[in-house]
Every structure is written in C-alpha cells, then in structure tokens.
Amino acid sequence: MKKKAIHVGVLAAIFIIAVVVFEYMTTRGNDDMMEDLGNAVLPRVYFTVDGYGVNALNAYSEEMDITTMRDSVTPISGKKLTMNLEADETKVTAVDYAVYTLDGKKKLSEDKISKVKDQMDLSFDQNLLSEERMLVLILHADGKSVYYYTRIVNPTDFNLTDCLDYVYNFHENALKKVENAGVGAALEQDDEDANSTFSHVTIHSSYDQVTWGNLAPQVTGGERWKITETNSSYTSVLLEYDVSCTGEENETDMYTVREFFRVRKNNGQMYLLNYDRTMEQIFDGSKNVLSEKGILLGITDPDVPYVVSSDGKIVAFVQADELWNYDKEQDQLSLLFSFRDAENADVRNKVSDHKIQILNMDKKGNTTFSVSGYMNRGEHEGYVGVAVYYYNIETNSIEEKAFVSSNKSAAIAGSELDTLKYYNTKTNKLYMLADGALHEISIKKDYDEVLLDGLKDGQYVVSDNGKWLAYQTGDDVTSSTEVTVMNLSDGSEYQVKSADDECMIPLGFVGNDFVSGLAKLDDIGKTISGEQAVAMYQIEIRSDADKVIKTYSSDGYYILSTEIDDGMITLNRVQKNGDTYTSAAADYISSNQEKKESNIMLESYVTDMKETQMRLTYADGIKDKSAKVLKPKQVVQDDPALPSFGKEVKENGYYVYGTGQLQGIYKTAGEAIRKADSVSGVVIDAKGQYVWERGNRYLVYDLSTSQASAVSELQNALASGTSVLEAAGNMSDQKVLELTGCTVEEMLYLINKDTPVIGVRNGASAIILTGYDESHVTYVDSENGESKTVTQEEMDQIMQSSGNAYVGYLKKAEE
C-alpha cells in the first residue's frame, strides 16, 4: 500500500509540474494580460412587422455614414412601428429616433421615448414616407450612445403580409420536405451543376436539392429575418440560421445557412422570382474531421481560403467565419479566431457581417490575419473596421497589432480598407491604404505616418498578397511617364518609365510580377459614347527583379482595360476609327509565373448523402485522426494602434446589392447594372439614390408625351452636333451614366423613371429611347426626329456594332 501511495504521489507531482510547464510554454514572452473576447453587451433591437420579428439591427458604438447603411428596410403600416429591445444587463434610459433623407443631408423629424420598455411603439408622420427614408435610433445605455440604422418605407400596395407568409411557408415546407406544397412548382430547374452540391442551391436546382435531400435538417436557435427590399413589384427577404443535419463521419453536423427569397404577388397569384441558399459546415475540431487523406471540411464553399507553410506541415483555413490552424507534426487543431462562442449561444455572436483574411504565414506557421467589417463582441464591439492579428504558434497566443475604424457600413468599409493590408513581422509595421493615402503604422513606437498621399483610382494597383504597390506620379492617368513599384516587405522600390510622348499605366500584379501598359499621347481619343479612351498599344509583365518577361501587342488593336484573375490577363480590346475607338474581341495572355506546388491541396469529393464536399488533402496522408484541439488566448496590448480611416465621403462609384448583401463596387453605371442584372439586384450611387433595379418597372411605358420637351431638347442638341455626354449632362443637375455594354432590356428601367436613354450607333446618328412594351422598344432618330418601333432583339442587333454604347442620366432626387 505504501509503495502504491508513493507512486500516486509521484504521478501527481509530475502532473502538476507538467501543467506549470505547459502554462509557461504557452504564455512565455507575453507580459501583457491574456483574455477571451468576452460576451456581447450592446442592446439588441428588432421590429415586429405583420406578426413577424424582423430586421435585428447592428448596434454601433459611433455615428455612421447614413448613405452606406442599407442592410435592411423596415415597413411601417399606419403611423406606428413596434420596436423590441433586448438589453440584458445593460440599462437603457432613453431612446431618441429621427427620420432622414437617404443621403443623410436633411433631418425630417425627430422624437424621444423616456419610458423604456422591452417593447415600444415609434410614431411617424406618414407624409414623410412618400418614399424610402432612413431611421436612426440612438439608445442611451449605461452612459453611452448606441446607434442603429434601417431604411423605412410605407408598404401600402406592397402585398407585404402575403409575401412574408409565402417566404415562411416555402422555408418550412422545404425543411420538412412537404410534398405538393408548391415548392417544386415554383422552381425553374435548368442547371445540372446546381444538383451536385448542397453548398449553393438556387431556383434552378432540383426539388430534392431545395428540400435538403436526406440531410434531415433541424433549425437550432431560430431564424433571423431581414427584409432587404420591398416595393410594389417585389419583396426580398433574407433568412439566416443554424441547422443541424444528419452526418456521415459524425452523427450530426452543424451548418450556418443564408436563404434568400425575392417574391411577388400579381393578380392574386404568388410568384417566386429568385431563390438562393448557401450552407457552410461549421468546422468542429472535437469531432471526426481528420481522415487518412486529409482535413474534412464537408459541405462548404468550393473556394475555401487557405495558406500552407513552406515546409508543408501547417495549414490555416477559413470556414464559416472562423479561422483554424492544423499542425500535423504536433497533431494540433487550433481555433485562431471566431465571434461564435461554443459555450454561449447569444444570437449577437452569429452576425456574419465580417470577413477573415489570411495575410501571411511564415515557415514556422506564425500567421498574420485580419478581421474586417462589423465587430460582434470584444474590445471593439459595435465598431466597423479592420483588426490585424498575429498568431504566435510557439506560445499559442493571438496578439492584436492594430485596429483601423471606419464610419461606413461593414461591407463598404471592408471593400475599401481591404485594398491593401500588409503587416511586416520583422519591423512590426502595418501598411494600409485608405482614402487615397498609404499609411505606415509602427506598432511598437505607436505612430502613423502617411508615406504617400493623393493616390487616385486608376493610378495605383496592389498585389493580392499586399506586398507590392505600384503607383503613377502625375495629376491623372495621361500625365504620367513613370510608375513607382514599392516592395513593402523591405522598403525597396524601382521605377518603370515610358517615352516623353507616352504614358505608363499600372494595371495590376500576377503574384509578384507587375503588369503595366504603354499608351501614346497622340492615340488618346474617345469611345463611341464620348468617354475618354486611353488606348494602350502594348502590355508589359515585369518580374520582381525589374526584368521584362513578357510583352503583348497586336497590329490594328489597342487595349482599353485589363482584368487579372488567377494568372490569366483578359485584354479588353478596341479598334481605332479616326479619334474614336470601337469595341473588338477580347484577347488573353497568361503569366510566366508558375504556381508553387504544395503537398496540401484543396479538393472536392462526392458521397451519397452529403454529395459534393471539400477536403484539404495531404499528399502523404494523415496517420493520427484524433488531434488535440486548442483555443489560443488573446494578448491584450496596453495601447494598440487605433487609427481611424475610411471617413472620406466618396461622390463616385456604384454599389450593387443582391441576394441580401453587397455584391461589389463599380466605377461605371454600366458595369454595375450588368452585375446587378445577373444577381437580380439593385444599383445605388454614392448618395444612396437608386440607379437601377431588376424588375421594379411597368411592363409598358411611354415617356414621349410626359417627357416630350426633354426628348425634343435632347434631339435638337444632338442634331446640332452637341456630344452625347454633353447633351446628357445638360439634362441633369446630377451625374451622367456611362452605360456601354448593357442590353436594351436593362435600359427599360431608366425609361420607366422618365429619363430618355441615348444610344450611339456605330457610324450613324444617335437615337433616343422613349418607350417600350413587353417585346418592343421605341426610339427617336436624333438626326431627323423620326420615331420608330422595333423588337428588343432588333435593337440589340442595331447597337451591337457599337458595343451597346448607351448614355443616360439621373434626375434630381425628391426630398
């Protein structure tokens, strides 16, 4: 007995020593305090509309730019809106609310609630809701002001209740696979590829895909409803929720789901216009996620972001808004970042208005990453911006290096601040590009220095890894004969120069190779619609050693712009006719830069139940299929760098929203409209004004009578030789819309808004589109004033030779 007691005591002592050593090993070198993110504390606000709880609003810790806050639209029937408040331990003493115009420039009304309850009615003057407005709520909570934003609208004649009921019934019937409930009849199956995966299901998928196959889904935690658009033509609703499904390697798997609906009621009949559902498996390192072939990611996006260490032993990947790290040699899985909390099902933690990006991984596996967008919890709860973190694999700790805040919406701030983020681990400096300035932020010395200022769109490009920046020196694209290429990893740079009668244009990077274009000043002309055309006669690709490794030129053709994607460069070509350039067939070139081979590759595989799944496959396989799961602690700095960027108000740019989220920001209205059409979305300008919507127009419209004077004024101006752009500009106190590349069907929305559209035919006079029906379009010939009607197909053929060169304009928004 005595020997046994000694043996147990020795084991106990060894265990205690091991624990102490482990704590030392995982925290050594970190004198700062270590903690978790903590719980979300800002109050949650949502509304009751027609019996549905909708539009839970993000809580903001500072005032935001109203023009960018368009995540939701809240219908107000009658004069009151029911607001629900979940404040938990936070004490809310008062609620202020005000109604603004969408551009935020005019406050239309304001009111206050002093007796705060869990449910309150906000009162409105219905005369203010003749069009969409912005509602701003300010909660006074624990001595702080917390801000909430939603668009509001009067839903009269919107058939809103019927639309919400349809969404609810479709969603429930699909989950439960209820036969003969109208789900199958609403689909438009025509895409076989859409029937091989559950990760992305659309209106074109099969009934079995839409009704979840054999996954037997069970919603956990309830659905979160968001109304993203509503008008007399359609209502768009986004449902977000978690679901537990039957698994294969595990009994069940958890998923995060986004389910988007666009529905319409017409003549008593409900129609499903669009349906788009994505699901992404929530990676759980404590379950069976390793196989002999690799890491099983399951049903998820086929483009999972991942980075592999140079020795092929460590991989980091992003899935379902979480960042994971797997060290094969140490047999460890580490959850590096997540706003979700396995021990706390708080719905505020599940808001997915952020993006995680892996910036760099060194040969040891130390990883730099960023989190951009809305901060759900932690020290920056309620702020929008970009946080940059450094994961030390040896100490198993995460250190925040800097947080850059913005007063714009999560999607727009993320897009703007994601242009360039580069953290140099050797110098402990962060480089960020915002508001046209390159900032160097020293983490240790706590300073923010502007290295470059006045960078303009079109005059600089950034590499995907953030390591390289190339920029012109000059007032505009045509005045620069030199481009400087900077390497932010070591501070070195080199210059690329053109002849004095030429200009050098930065186009982008393929890996570390710089792509530039050369244009002769004498070749600068105009597109057929009148826009300036800087036509490049040659493309050059330079290595990071400043050596030209490839050039491109083609007799009789010029390059107007380029697109770079995965090593392939698309050349958007034109041909010259006098001083005018007309579109020509695109051409393509590929870079000489070869992709580095890795022993870890992202691959898909197929099973009967879960169908297409993703796996990080190891060339030499994985022996131990039960890894240790770690959750690194956060190292809290006493004074982290906290610069504030993204405050600049941009007057240009077009924002495309579709399937319940921002789809992209585009330079021209034509580019934005084409994207919005492909996702059945909307286009908004920088002032928050609608530029274009899919479907929200009459089937027949004629403005030749109501806008006869405008049509006549345009026709006279064009007939007298006024340029298309000048003629359109004279019709508006706002902006001219460059619409080249659009179809005539996409132009009908603008006609419906009482604005004529100018079409420029190749080698002929301009025409003015004045009306349409379901299959025809009417136009006026600017040269002789004659009106003609042709089919929409015939109009597309007429405009094809000019590359569909259209020009429109925006009318002044009513207040």
pLDDT band at 778 (very low <50, low <70, confident <90, very high): very high
pLDDT band at 272 (very low <50, low <70, confident <90, very high): very high
Question: How many domains, the chain?
Answer: 6
Is there a domain that residue 603 lies in? no
Q: What integer pLDDT is reported at residue 815 of this predicted model? A: 44
H/E stretch holding 67: none
Is there a domain that residue 721 lies in? yes
Q: Could you report the per-residue pLDDT of 180-193, keeping only the tens digit for each? A: 889 999 999 886 65
Question: Are 731 and 680 in the same domain?
Answer: no
| Number of helices followed by number of strands (H, E) in the chain | 10, 57
For every residue of 233-248, which 3-state class applies, written as one string? CCEEEEEEEEEEEECC
Question: Are 92 and 188 in the same domain?
Answer: no
> Tokens for 483?
């481009």
Type of residue numbered 141: A
Q: Which of 28-32, 251-255, 765-769 has the highest mean pLDDT?
A: 251-255
Question: Are 23 and 82 in the same domain?
Answer: no
Question: Using CA atoms, how far apart are residues 581 and 523, in angstroms rounded to an integer?
Answer: 10
**Whether pLDDT at 637 is above 80:** no
Using the 3D structure, point to which of 153, 182, 215 is the last residue of a domain: 153
Is there a domain that residue 367 lies in? no
Within a 13 Å sphere around the CA of 641, how many CA atoms are in the beta-carbon half?
A: 28
**Cβ–Cβ under 8 Å, residues 538 and 591:** no
Query: Going by C-beta distance under 8 Å and a sequence separation of 6 or more, which residues neighbour residue 75?
Result: 49, 50, 152, 153, 154, 155, 158, 160, 227, 230
**Whether pLDDT at 6 is above 80:** no
Question: Are 583 and 475 in the same domain?
Answer: yes
Question: Are 175 and 274 in the same domain?
Answer: yes
Calculate mean pLDDT across residues 660-673: 95
Q: What integer pLDDT is reported at residue 428 of this predicted model? A: 85
Q: What SS3 class is residue 708?
A: helix
Q: What integer pLDDT is reported at residue 401 of this predicted model? A: 86
Is there a domain that residue 11 lies in? yes
Q: Which has the higher per-residue pLDDT, 813 or 691?
A: 691
pLDDT band at 811 (very low <50, low <70, confident <90, very high): confident
Question: Are 193 and 234 in the same domain?
Answer: yes
Question: Are 181 and 100 in the same domain?
Answer: no
pLDDT band at 506 (very low <50, low <70, confident <90, very high): very high
Question: Are 177 and 265 in the same domain?
Answer: yes
pLDDT mean across residues, the chain = 89
**Whether pLDDT at 622 is above 80:** yes
Q: Which has the higher per-residue pLDDT, 647 or 234?
A: 234
615, 763, 768, 796 from 806: Cα distances, Å: 46, 15, 10, 11
**Whether pLDDT at 175 is above 60:** yes
> Tokens for 249?
């390697």
Q: What integer pLDDT is reported at residue 641 of this predicted model? A: 57
Query: Going by C-beta distance under 8 Å and a sequence separation of 6 or more, which residues neighbour residue 186?
Result: 170, 203, 271, 272, 275
Q: What integer pLDDT is reported at residue 640 of this predicted model? A: 57
Question: Using CA atoms, how far apart are residues 553 and 559, in angstroms rounded to an integer?
Answer: 9
Q: What integer pLDDT is reported at residue 207 of this predicted model? A: 94
For every residue of 236-297, which 3-state class applies, written as one string? EEEEEEEEEEECCCCCEEEEEEEEEEEEEEECCEEEEEEEEEEEEECCCCCCCCECCCEEEE
Q: What integer pLDDT is reported at residue 447 of this predicted model? A: 74
Question: Are 147 and 53 in the same domain?
Answer: yes
Using the 3D structure, point to which of 662, 690, 718 is the last residue of a domain: 690
Question: Are 131 and 227 in the same domain?
Answer: no
Q: What integer pLDDT is reported at residue 2 of this predicted model? A: 36
Using the 3D structure, point to which of 256, 281, 306 is the last residue of a domain: 281
Is there a domain that residue 289 lies in? no
Q: Could you report the per-residue pLDDT of 751-777, keeping only the tens digit for each? A: 999 999 999 987 778 999 999 999 999
**Whether pLDDT at 34 is above 50:** no
Question: Using CA atoms, how far apart are residues 18 and 24, in angstroms rounded to an integer?
Answer: 10
Q: What integer pLDDT is reported at residue 7 of this predicted model? A: 44
> Tokens for 460?
């600089």
**Whether pLDDT at 12 is above 50:** no
Is there a domain that residue 225 lies in? yes
Q: Which has the higher per-residue pLDDT, 273 or 653?
A: 273
Question: Are 138 and 168 in the same domain?
Answer: no
List the single range of 308-317, 609-618, 630-639 with lowest mean pLDDT: 630-639
Calculate mean pLDDT across residues 659-686: 95
List the single range of 58-62, 272-276, 321-325, 463-467 with lowest mean pLDDT: 463-467
567: region left, alpha or beta (phi > 0 left; psi from -120 to 50 alpha): left
Question: Using CA atoms, how far apart are residues 344 and 347, in angstroms rounded to an integer?
Answer: 9
Q: Could you report the per-residue pLDDT of 140-167, keeping only the tens digit for each? A: 999 899 999 999 999 999 999 999 999 9
Q: Specify the CATH number for the domain of residue 258.
A: 3.10.450
> Tokens for 567?
């090593």
Calculate mean pLDDT across residues 323-338: 95
Q: Which has the higher per-residue pLDDT, 577 or 284?
A: 284
> Tokens for 225?
């409803």
List the single range of 205-219, 440-454, 455-469, 522-536 with lowest mean pLDDT: 440-454
Strand bridging mode 322-327 / 332-338: antiparallel
Strand bridging mode 447-452 / 437-442: antiparallel
Residue (of 710, 669, 724) closest to 692 by Cα position? 669
Q: Could you report the per-residue pLDDT of 722-735, keeping only the tens digit for each? A: 999 999 999 987 78
Calculate mean pLDDT across residues 68-96: 95
Is there a domain that residue 374 lies in? no
Q: Which domain holds residue 245?
A: 160-281
Q: What percent of the chain has pLDDT over 90?
A: 72
Residue (of 86, 88, 131, 82) closest to 106 by Cα position? 131
Question: Using CA atoms, how far apart are residues 781 and 766, in angstroms rounded to an integer?
Answer: 7
List the single range of 75-89, 330-344, 374-388, 645-659 with lowest mean pLDDT: 645-659
pLDDT band at 747 (very low <50, low <70, confident <90, very high): very high
pTM flag (> 0.75):
yes
Question: Are 672 and 718 in the same domain?
Answer: no
**Whether pLDDT at 648 is above 70:** no
Q: Specify the CATH number for the domain of residue 55.
A: 2.60.40
Which is it for the CA torsion 59, 64, 66, 69, positive or negative? negative
Residue (of 409, 406, 404) closest to 422 by Cα position? 404
Q: Specify the CATH number for the domain of residue 710.
A: 3.90.70.10
623: region left, alpha or beta (phi > 0 left; psi from -120 to 50 alpha): alpha
Q: Could you report the per-residue pLDDT of 486-497, keeping only the tens digit for each? A: 999 998 999 999
Question: Using CA atoms, how far apart are residues 148 and 59, in angstroms rounded to an integer?
Answer: 6
Q: How many residues comprise the chain?
A: 815
Q: What integer pLDDT is reported at residue 530 of this predicted model? A: 86
Q: What integer pLDDT is reported at residue 638 of this predicted model? A: 57
Is there a domain that residue 14 lies in? yes
pLDDT band at 631 (very low <50, low <70, confident <90, very high): confident
